[in-house]
Amino acid sequence: MDSFTIAHISDLHLSAEHKRFNLRRARRLLEEIGRRRVDHVVVTGDIAADADRREFEIARGLFRNSGLLDPEKLSLVIGNHDVFGGVHMPEDILTFPRRCRQTEYSAHVEEFRGYFHEAFERCLYGSHAKPFPYAKVLGDVVLFGVNSVAHYSAVKNPVGSNGDVGDGQYRRLKQLLEAPELRGKRKIVLIHHHFHKYPSPAEGTLHSVWGAIERRTMKLHGKKRLFQLFRECGVALVLHGHVHLNGEYGRKGIQFLNGGGSLLGPGNRMSFNLIDIGPESIENRIITIPEEQPAVPVRPSVPELQAA
Ligand SMILES: [Fe+2]
């Protein structure tokens, strides 16, 4: 096979209202990616900050201006902020669980596909009715897009940020991963939620309380059967976001890359994963982009607000 290069970014949290810095930084990130020889760009969710129509229009404008609205150039999966939104002001904490409960989950997933429909073209689907899971063949590489955003549950997912791949989607993903026509190709899974464990802070500190809450509300349920499925089907790599760090790790014999620190990494660093997929190996470099000072909030430009 010829070598294939992917730029992996995640967790842009674009907003015209709450996080205007992110828009300026996202432009810079995509400019930097555009300067390199990259075959494909992968975005693993939380593109929006608050699941708002304007945020998706801004994202669409960014991708269009970067020449990425093309199934051969861009693949996306959905994140929890793209479905439920998030808490941005202290007073939101009280009302956010009710908002999550009232969110029309399937409508949001379908709208997400609508905003970025070009990226979902030329895919194989486990179900014609749903955008996820999908398989996209790019030469010798196949990308499998998975929706890991769990439905609202008062007990298991009160603020919408936990992950789950339900039974129906799991079955369809298994069918796609086992499809005879995809045998022998390099299989890469795209999913929003992480597979690593949260570090456990020292007991008895306030930090440990927040750590415990975070572990409870940021968790991907059902990891065990996914590990097994990925191993049995020869998945070469899993790309994800959700935790705002960029890094590489292995679990249960599978290689994972987190791109969640693309805009919001430690020290406000911008970075992306630049992945070279060769015939024998997969190599990743984390490309870090220096922050410009001072950071000035910007408003979306007119082209970025135009929904195509
Ligand atoms: Fe997330």
- Of the pLDDT bands very low, low, confident and very high (cuts 50, 70, 90), residue 87 is confident
Span from the CA of 150 to the centroid of ligand 1 (angstroms)? 11
Burial 98-129 (b: 16+ CB within 10 A, else e): ebbeebebeebbebbbebbebbbeebbbbeee
Span from the CA of 11 to the centroid of ligand 1 (angstroms)? 7
Half-sphere exposure of 146 (CA within 13 A, CB side): 34
Span from the CA of 243 to the centroid of ligand 1 (angstroms)? 7
Span from the CA of 117 to the centroid of ligand 1 (angstroms)? 21
Span from the CA of 170 to the centroid of ligand 1 (angstroms)? 20
Domain ranges of the chain: 4-305
Residues around ion ligand 1, judged by CB within 5 A, are 46, 79-80, 242
Span from the CA of 299 to the centroid of ligand 1 (angstroms)? 24
Q: Averaging pLDDT over each range in 136-150, 196-210, 264-278, which range is the top one?
A: 136-150
pLDDT beyond 60 at 251 = yes
Span from the CA of 306 to the centroid of ligand 1 (angstroms)? 26
Q: Does domain 4-305 have CATH number 3.60.21.10?
A: yes
- Of the pLDDT bands very low, low, confident and very high (cuts 50, 70, 90), residue 187 is very high
Span from the CA of 1 to the centroid of ligand 1 (angstroms)? 34
Span from the CA of 188 to the centroid of ligand 1 (angstroms)? 20
Tens-place pLDDT, residues 212-226 = 556 667 889 999 999
